[in-house]
Structure 1
Amino acid sequence: MEIRQLQYFLMLCNELHFSEAAYKLGISQPTLSQQIRVIEDELGVPLFDRIGKKTVKTAAGELLEGYALQIVQQLENAKNAIADLRNLNSGQVRIAVLPSDLDYRLTSLLIDFHKDLPNTKVKMIPSIDILNKVLSNEVDIGVGLAIQDDPRLNHIPFYTETYSLYVDNEHDLAMREIISPEDLTNIPLVMYPKGFYGRDLIDDWCKEQKITIHTVMETGSATSLFQLVKEGIGATIQPSQLNEILKSPNIRAIPIEYSPIRELEIIYRNDKYLNRAALTFMKRLEVFF
């Protein structure tokens, strides 16, 4: 059984359609069918059932898929390790990060990283689906809110922060020293849309506090939210250190009693080789925060 055949097999597992898999592999459908038959003949069991126009994995196909993924991943790890050895001062790191963090928090880190490692290519990929980006190998590491432990991943917690209510200086609450959860129910808010990690964290906290908040406008950018606050459209609930980074003199952060807690972590697949560029970036990230 050859690596190329396993790659054909895995593509068919993913697509479950011979024509689509063959198209993505850049080969003909008869060639793909023939290669799958070769594997089945070698193993002595069918890997797929052809039911009309549908293709489904057999129990043997499910079993082989798990091992094939490990084999292909280990081969990729070997290639990356050797490339890393040959290119001591270069490399690439792909990072999935929450759009809001990329919007305001990580720019200075990227500038310093490039100054020290100018030959290292960094690809920052904003996403609200960091977990699947990491698991599907689209990125090397993910940086975002802490998630439930997953046996496929390594988790490195590196930062915890509270949330505050942000209002413009002319707001009725601007002189308050602290805001209670109940106070938030009567305040028009501008927030991230539902489905964004930061918004879901706030909504979950509201359920714990048995309160309901009301939004008048929603946007996916921290910068635009602050602009809306500055113009008096509404207040917003964001990480407490955000104003220190954005430096908006016309906006005031008011601590929230029993504040939501935001825990950040780095995640990466525990079967994946991380090159020097990725490891260096992770260390810089921990120190930076």
Structure 2
Amino acid sequence: MELRHLEYFLMVSKELHFTKAAEKLGISQPTLSHQIKILEQEVGYPLFNRVGKKIELTKVGEIVQQEALNIQGSIQSISSQIAAFTKVEIGELKIAVLPGEITDLVSTLCIQFNHLYPNIKVFIQTTDQVEKAVLENRADFGIGFQLNQYDMLQVTKLYDEEFYLISNQSNEEQTVSFSSVLDGPLILFPSMHQCRKILDKTSYEVGKQLEPIVETSSIKSILNLVRSGVGRSVVSRTLYEFYDTEDLFFQHIEKPSLTRAVYLVMKKNCFINYAARKYIKLLVREIEKLHFHTEKDSITSLRSSIL
């Protein structure tokens, strides 16, 4: 049984006239009659009683009519849902991110995304196994640092970001050496935090011990403690840009400089849903607006492939 046959049948059952139904369908009356006969053969019973030029539905025809209307409604519902999905009116978005400030970046952008697409459910999964989440289809895409390369994954470098020394006092020097950073009291994230791991690694390489006066996983607490003069802190530019830091002062860290690359990871040769595309478009726009150090070739390639 073909959908076309049901479509023809429903038009005849509506018009109760083969010629009128054929005209509305844009086919000849003999063709329509032939198609209805094929449908009747498949059903095994007549669908219309033919009395002269008039026709009426048989009892079997009434049953087929009701079920055909149900099928037609389901097909229209499917089309409507697909149209809504492609227009980012419904659906869900799953993002995997490493613990730390990237989670703050992703969460902050969700505010903009929700304003634009309020019916999209967003799930942010904080995990240290971003690649695995994407490979197992638990995330539409992931964002992290120094991602492992897998043949099944497409990894795109989004931007390079540096780390700042922040304090509540202005300093004429725009830069500060890493060794000088360690000289004063520091308020830092716990050792499990991605930012802290970079600081621990660098301090070990320069032969110094990192001993913060306060450790907290709350960026707001860090900023408030710095404001109150308890100590200084080291934060990524991502955090510095996305929080209210206008009353604080920052210095670039050098000798060595602290930077890291931020990557976007997706599954190769896999359909990227429209919600994910719209979110990534917002992310790229925000990165460019903040003038992060991006690789133009990577962003151009990303745009051409999914944006």
The TM-score, its normalising length taken from structure 1, stands at: 0.61
Alpha-carbon contact 1:104-1:246 (below 8 Å) kept: no
TM-superposed CA distance for 1:277, in Å, is: 1.4
1:167 equivalent in structure 2: 167
Secondary structure, counterpart of 1:87 in structure 2: helix
The residue aligned with 2:228 is 231
The answer as to whether partners of 1:128 and 1:197 remain within 8 angstroms in 2 is no
Report the number of matched residues. 204
Report the Cα offset of residue 120 of structure 1.
2.2
> AA paired with 1:207?
Y
Match of 1:180 among 164, 177, 180: 177
Instruction: State whether residues 102 and 126 of structure 1, in contact with CA within 8 Å, keep that contact through their aligned partners in structure 2.
Output: no
Q: Assess if the C-alpha contact under 8 Å between 2:102 and 2:143 holds in 1.
A: no
Larger Rg: 2
Alpha-carbon distance change, 86 to 239 in structure 1, aligned in 2, over 3 angstroms: closer
**RMSD, aligned α-carbons:** 2.7
Tell me which residue corresponds to 1:215.
212
Taking the aligned partners of 1:84 and 1:259, their CA distance within structure 2 comes to 49
Q: CA deviation at 1:237?
A: 0.9
Query: Residue 118 of structure 1 aligns with which residue?
Result: 118
Structure 2 residue identity aligned to 1:88 = T
Q: CA deviation at 1:266?
A: 0.9
Q: Distance between the aligned counterparts of 2:195 and 2:98, measured in 1?
A: 9
Cα distance change on mapping 1:205 and 1:131 into 2, 3 Å: farther
Q: Is the 8 A contact 1:103 1:223 kept in 2?
A: no
- Percent identity between the two aligned chains: 24
Change over 3 Å in CA distance of 1:107–1:137 after alignment to 2: closer
Instruction: Output the CA distance in 2 between the equivalents of 1:102 and 1:157.
Output: 14
- When residues 111 and 220 of structure 1 are mapped into structure 2, their CA distance, relative to the original with a 3 A threshold, is same
Gaps of 5+ in 2: 1-80, 288-307
Equivalences for residues 38-187 of structure 1 within 5 A:
87-89=85-87, 90-101=90-101, 104-169=104-169, 174-187=171-184
> Paired residue for 1:193, among 190, 194, 203?
190
Q: Are the aligned partners of 1:91 and 1:121 in contact in 2 as well (CA < 8 Å)? A: yes
Q: Which runs of 5+ in 1 are unaligned?
A: 1-82
Contact in 1 for aligned 2:174/2:252 (Cα 8 Å): yes
Is the Cα contact below 8 Å between 1:240 and 1:255 reproduced in 2?
no
Q: Output the CA distance in 1 between the equivalents of 2:84 and 2:173.
A: 59
Cα distance in 1 between the residues matched to 2:93 and 2:277? 9
Normalised by the length of structure 2, the TM-score is 0.58
Q: Structure 1: how far apart are the matches of 2:282 and 2:211?
A: 38
Task: Give the partner amino acid of 1:277.
Answer: A
CA distance in 2, matches of 1:202, 1:135: 30
TM-superposition CA deviations, 1:250-289 (whole Å, max 9, x none):
4211111132112111112336542121122223222221
State the Cα distance separating 1:98 from its structure 2 match: 3.9
